[in-house]
Amino acid sequence: MNELFKQQVYEVTKLIPKGRVSTYGAIAKAVGYPNHSRHVGNAMGGCPKDVPAHRVISSSGKLSVPSFRERLEKEDVVVQENWKIKDFKKLFWNPLDEL
């Protein structure tokens, strides 16, 4: 994975509003690499602190990193016991539609 891809992923992720979530796949599509959601996940693993990685979740609406629960809840995102985001479809931020 090259640095340009990572930087593009980080820039799109920074645009996700507080209280909203996006998916690895949606970010991948937004940067021009559909079907590269795993690469987005890998990029998130080492992202800078100013990138809100906690707002990026799986396409099923589940939290991929349990430690992000607290950060999301501080933004009034409800995480259910099964690690799913309550009202996922309502909170979903699609960069292709909203940029």
- pLDDT tens, position by position, 8-60: 999 999 999 999 999 999 999 999 999 999 999 999 988 999 999 999 999 99
Q: pLDDT by residue (tens digit) across 3-18?
A: 999 999 999 999 999 9
Angle, helix 3-14 to helix 37-45, in steps of 10 degrees: 80
Would residue 81 count as lying in a domain? yes
Q: Decide if 63 contacts 83 (C-beta within 8 A).
A: yes
Would residue 54 count as lying in a domain? yes
- Write down the pTM of the prediction: 0.93
- Total tally of structural domains belonging to the chain: 1
Question: What's the CA gap between 7 and 89, in Å, rounded?
Answer: 27
Q: How many CA atoms lie within 13 A of 23 on its CB side?
A: 20
Structural domain boundaries, residue 40: 3-90
